[in-house]
Amino acid sequence: MDHDKTTGDENTPASGDAADEPTFVIRDENEDGEPKKKGRFLRELAIIVIIVLGLMFIFAQFFFRQYVVPSESMEPTLTGCTGCSNDRIVVDKLVYRFSDPEPGDVVVFKSPTSSWDDNWVSPRSSNPVVHKLQDVLSWFALSPPDENNLVKRVIATGGQTVACHNADGKGVTVDGKALNEPYIDKTMQVDTNAETGGALGGGSCYGPDFGPIKVPDGNVWVMGDNRSNSADSRAHIDDELHGTVPISDIRGKVRFVIYPFSRIGGVGAVNPQG
């Protein structure tokens, strides 16, 4: 008997062991992975968009909001005119939740009575679908609100009496005291009061006489820095609020100019009363 003969490869498994071997299936990684990646990306993108919109809504409604200066009534402090680069301003909406406006504050407010809306045109489209879309976008400060927002400087507050008479040479007075108004550029002013014959000077009202008017508690008296070219509280003395603006209608305090870039900077509150 020859014990050296072999009957087969010793490394070849028996037929009964084949079922115990693991089976590997090679699958294209793009077969399932690519749709999952796309789905994950879309979910993450949706979450990011929701978070960003949520933050924009909170900031626009409660903290800060951007507005565009609509006219030249606050020049040279703020600029705005047809065909020019109107200032974009940032308004602090939080400050007046804890304190009242003070003399010298530059504020944005919605028109308190219909007399302030005489020349205002709604920014909304006549198309109802677009109109609604603009309403929604305005919640996130991506579209202007459908209201007449104006910007002026607080001159007098509740309980104070404001007046101006060209004949006395004092200019605007609050409680009988003349104001110090360094923000007025006298070279820009045109005296529209016929009684003074066009004469300008430190005592000019830069317009018709008015007052005395006592500002009700909870209201303010506002005027533009471009005094002879501003339809401010003086222009609305005959309305039900006698030209004053309720604090509840004030949207906030102007803090910064953010555009155009050449005018970027803070907007100071210069108290004209002292």
Residue 139: both structure tokens together: 């919640």
Q: Look at residues 230, 234, 151, 150 and name the one whose alpha carbon lies nearest to residue 185.
A: 230
What burial class does residue 105 get, using C-beta atoms within 10 Å of its C-beta: 0-12 exposed, 13-18 middle, 19+ buried?
buried
For residue 78, count other CB atoms closer than 10 A to its CB: 25
CA distance 230 to 219: 19
Catalytic residue, chosen from 85, 111, 122, 152, is 152
CA distance 257 to 56: 19
Question: What backbone torsions phi and psi does residue 90 show, to the nearest 5 degrees?
Answer: -105, 125
152 is catalytic: yes
For residue 50, count other CB atoms closer than 10 A to its CB: 10
Catalytic residue, chosen from 73, 204, 228, 230, is 73
115 is catalytic: no
Q: Which residues pair with 221 in a beta bridge?
A: 156
| Rg (alpha carbons) of the chain, rounded to whole number | 35
Q: Identify the helix (H) or strand (E) that includes residue 265.
A: strand 265-266
Active site residues: 73, 152
